[in-house]
Amino acid sequence: MDPLAAAELEDLASDLRELRQALAAQLQSSDASARPVDLNQPIGRVSRVDAIQQQSMAKANRQAAQLRARQVEAALKRIEEGEYGACLSCGGEIGFRRLKARPEAGLCVGCQSRREGRGA
Ligand SMILES: [Zn+2]
């Protein structure tokens, strides 16, 4: 696979900056819903279970967004350092098509699937 062209790199950099903004907005708006459920509040047992379920979903979403935000930051840093586009594990090219789909990706497809235990 060929190294990224300057135009491709610029394209991915702007995707990453947009993603960073979107994630920051998402994290901000999920702040309120991730607040602990007040168990002393007289809302009834069923709605309490409901609230706790919703809350744990909100928490999981939030954690996923936080993780992704960190990956986006790391990817932007790699662009600054001129290391973006190379697999963090094997050093091979990640490839534009994969990066276009997931600009924060730090691993090539092969390394990613090995890490997820699905074989290469
Ligand atoms: Zn790799």
Tell me the pLDDT tens digit for each residue of 41-91.
666 777 888 888 988 998 999 999 999 999 999 999 999 999 999 999 999
Residues that place a CB less than 5 A from ion ligand 1: 87, 89-90, 92, 108, 111
Question: Does residue 90 sit within a domain?
Answer: yes
Question: Does residue 72 sit within a domain?
Answer: yes
Question: Does residue 35 sit within a domain?
Answer: yes
- Find the CATH number of the domain harbouring 104: 1.20.120.910
pLDDT over 70 percentage in the chain: 86
pLDDT computed for residue 120 by the predictor? 47
Structural domain boundaries, residue 16: 6-115
Distance in Å, CA 5 to ligand 1 centroid = 19
Residue 52 contacts by C-beta under 8 Å, 6 or more apart in sequence?
37
Question: Does residue 120 sit within a domain?
Answer: no
Distance in Å, CA 114 to ligand 1 centroid = 9
Question: Does residue 95 sit within a domain?
Answer: yes
Nearest to 103 by CA among 5, 1, 33, 17: 17
